[in-house]
Amino acid sequence: MRQTLLQPKNVQHIPDHLEEGVLYISERFNICSHLCACGCKEEVVTPLSKAEWRIFRDGDLVSLLPSIGNWNYSCQSHYFIEQNRIRWLPGMTAQKIERVQKKDALDLQRLLDQGNASPKTDLNNPSPKKSRDSKNKNGGNADEKSAIRRLAVKLKNFFN
């Protein structure tokens, strides 16, 4: 059943089993996840970064930009999450999807090349600043760990 609302839920780790109608937000790992709003039950993973998605808060209301395009899933759903609401968008042609995916890949590669793979995102300030030499609490390079996490997410989506 098509969703019209997603309730944001702050978590440390994204749970193994997601509930319909919930947008899980992990500030620690700069990632959001939810079940596809079309009702197909596919897991949608949205990494937070300058080149991927950004999250905006207004009190208890959450918006995620840009749109969610589930073109690798059979449903090929396309929607915005705006202030917890789902705004459905029309389908896209295969050529348009290919252009968008190429642009997204170039944007991500450009960010990785600049050494800013995953700037720590302040959920209330979408323009974070970060030093290239930033280290996380465990002493590892946060950019490298983020790049590995993103690769794992992309591989998971590829093989699903």
Helix (H, G, I), strand (E, B) or coil at 105: helix
User: With 0-12 CB in 10 A as exposed, 13-18 as middle and 19+ as buried, what is 145?
Assistant: middle
Can you tell me the distance from the alpha carbon of 131 to that of 64, in angstroms, rounded to the nearest whole number? 25
| pLDDT by position in tens, the chain (length 160) | 899 999 999 999 999 999 999 999 999 999 999 999 999 999 999 999 887 899 999 999 999 999 999 888 999 999 999 999 999 998 888 898 888 888 888 888 887 788 754 444 444 444 333 333 333 333 444 555 555 555 555 555 554 4
User: With 0-12 CB in 10 A as exposed, 13-18 as middle and 19+ as buried, what is 151?
Assistant: exposed
